[in-house]
Structure 1
């Protein structure tokens, strides 16, 4: 068996972790801090667990410059797919509650009349906007339809249209069919607008926050403004972001942060009690909105109230995420996440440069303007099955692993997550050069 340092792993997730973290985790799993117990054995309500939780939050706040007075950090379970459901059940509930309060404030107090008004609003105004740019945002949109009904989902963008039914582009913002807010001449704001910042399957990444989703003056989160939700599962902690552009960011840990079992959520506090109450479950059932109320373990208000410890949080998984985040804080200092962004961009440029150099051999799948820095998707000799098989076999001989594309699209995919060291990317670049020149 080759030693760990010989393997260059480019798998899309579960992904590589920093070797020092893995080594420390191996020891901590057996005996954490000479306590005689492993991290997977300690109580999630113990002082040790609470310190791990607090330290992880503190370092994440530092790394991303999260305004602590405006945002709460939650650690949940269910992965990105659980996040699809949580966003729908929580934010549709917020939409309903804000309208219920508006009705009450208008002087209507009779419960039956309130329910009647709400039913009318739901039927006429409730929409959830989805920007469908790849396989994961497509799944999120489909989950919204499954939970609450197709009539409430507005596909504001389907990137397959005009692209031969395939993903690989993000059309110009002026072509997006977003639900109009009151400020734009519409009747009401949508419950939210949702996008996946980086699509792992299709190699598509938003190069910056969409201009059309930026807010003007006024408090974010009001009824006349869009709530913006981003799935950052595969590019979380890889570049500087303005957290205030978002109302909810969620990310499964198993790409850039840790191991499967932890989902990080950054949520605007105005969406949580006491600023926004949770509507009574009995009311939601009267409105006949499928999927509401949602499972309590996916309820943001419940998780926030209990400091992410409503149910048994996997502390070992949290500790690994905390160690990864702490190492980024220590490594980049005042640069914060921008330091990691420089490294990520450099590694991605090395790979794309050699792919573009040999266009007769390699074809990058997505358009150049939306290429992902995290998941480099390409075909070999136009997608020739035998040649791609040969390419992968040659890579394996050089201990370059995890390069096979997603089963739904095929091809080759090199995932360039934070824990993939520069020297491994350089090994891949050498192989790409050698293969293109018949030296593989």
Structure 2
């Protein structure tokens, strides 16, 4: 039976990427060694790093004056690296979910941290609007897609202070005006690569403005100076990320990914809104294309476990919602085919007919 992978992360990758990565584990580029055992400073791996960086810049139309880094530690380490590198006195944060809140918590250790708005009281079911960002903030930070709650900021905001975004789960799913940002970062395990590598896009002249000492490994300049190789980088996930970016480019780049994302999200939300057994959890205007969260309607709540079992038997994987929300979460990242979304819709319709 075909499996349809809706896992929130680590999540689905293109089948070609998995196959090529598997080949490289056995024999990388015909050199007789596994990519797991070659030196990260070898010319063979340097070529991978160079291509990964070039593809990142090409696919996102990154302007001159920005560096692309591939680091360890996940987005969670970036939560402290951001204030270390960018906060002198004050920073502004938009609180839209668990990860935004965790980022804000780390920032509080470095200076005044202003929560400009929050949707916590509504269990993060919407993105706050019409908030004010302090003009004297060193930066404004937001999380573009909230995987747990299924909300997403689909257009780049505009503000008068440097802007920083955690784009862990929607990178490469829509075009971005990178010139609006001082830094973009994220864990790669949602839409780009296996877990273990973090991408950071940083504006070079935004650095060097804080007076504090920054530990060597936590200083972005360290990694810019050494081309992401100050220490041994996460070699295998970087290779897979390069392959994924090749795949994105082959299909038409980020605009093609956005078209796919819209089509899949529109299909599934239409069924959620039509089917009397299900209802969405996020405000309609803020619905995520990447993580589609829904629950049983109150009159059918008792069938939640039954539907999950039914869908699992039909090959749906990773549909269970986060424990803080419950219900279901269909993560529709770039590599998920439209056929998988249709299979889930068929499941929902069949369950409706039999219950």
Deviations 1:57-76 (A, max 9, x none): 11111111111x22111111
The aligned counterpart of 1:337 is 254
Partners of 2:35 and 2:339 in 1: CA distance = 32
Q: How does 1:311-330 map to 2 (within 5 A)?
A: 311-330=231-250
Which one has a larger percent strand, Structure 1 or Structure 2? 2
Cα distance change, pair 308–278 in 1 and its aligned pair in 2 (3 A) = farther
Cα distance change, pair 154–303 in 1 and its aligned pair in 2 (3 A) = same
Contact 1:366–1:377 (CA under 8 A) maintained in structure 2: yes
1:241 aligns with 2:186: no
Contact 1:168–1:365 (CA under 8 A) maintained in structure 2: yes
Q: How does 1:95-244 map to 2 (within 5 A)?
A: 95=88, 126-145=89-108, 147-148=109-110, 152-161=112-121, 163=122, 166-173=123-130, 176-179=131-134, 181=135, 189-211=136-158, 213=159, 225-244=160-179
Partners of 1:294 and 1:392 in 2: CA distance = 48
Contact 2:86–2:210 (CA under 8 A) maintained in structure 1: no
- Matching residue within 317, 324, 327 for 1:411: 327
Deviation at 1:295, TM superposition (A): 4.1
Contact 1:354–1:429 (CA under 8 A) maintained in structure 2: yes
Partners of 1:64 and 1:383 in 2: CA distance = 45
Partners of 2:29 and 2:126 in 1: CA distance = 49
Deviation at 1:438, TM superposition (A): 2.0
TM-score normalised to the size of structure 1?
Answer: 0.78
Q: How does 1:236-315 map to 2 (within 5 A)?
A: 236-272=171-207, 276=208, 279=211, 284=212, 293-315=213-235
Which one has a larger percent helix, Structure 1 or Structure 2? 1
Long gaps (5+) in structure 2: none
Partners of 1:263 and 1:153 in 2: CA distance = 24
The aligned counterpart of 2:71 is 76
Contact 1:378–1:412 (CA under 8 A) maintained in structure 2: yes
* SS of residue paired to 1:129: strand
Deviation at 1:373, TM superposition (A): 0.2
* SS of residue paired to 2:265: helix
* SS of residue paired to 2:114: strand
Deviations 1:374-420 (A, max 9, x none): 00001113396642111110011101110001122211100000111
Deviation at 1:435, TM superposition (A): 1.6
Contact 2:170–2:290 (CA under 8 A) maintained in structure 1: yes
Partners of 1:384 and 1:202 in 2: CA distance = 21
Deviation at 1:318, TM superposition (A): 0.4
Long gaps (5+) in structure 1: 96-125, 182-188, 214-224, 285-292
Cα distance change, pair 429–295 in 1 and its aligned pair in 2 (3 A) = farther
Partners of 1:395 and 1:192 in 2: CA distance = 44
Higher mean C-alpha deviation, range 196-205 or range 81-90: 81-90
Deviation at 1:16, TM superposition (A): 0.7
Q: How many residues align?
A: 355
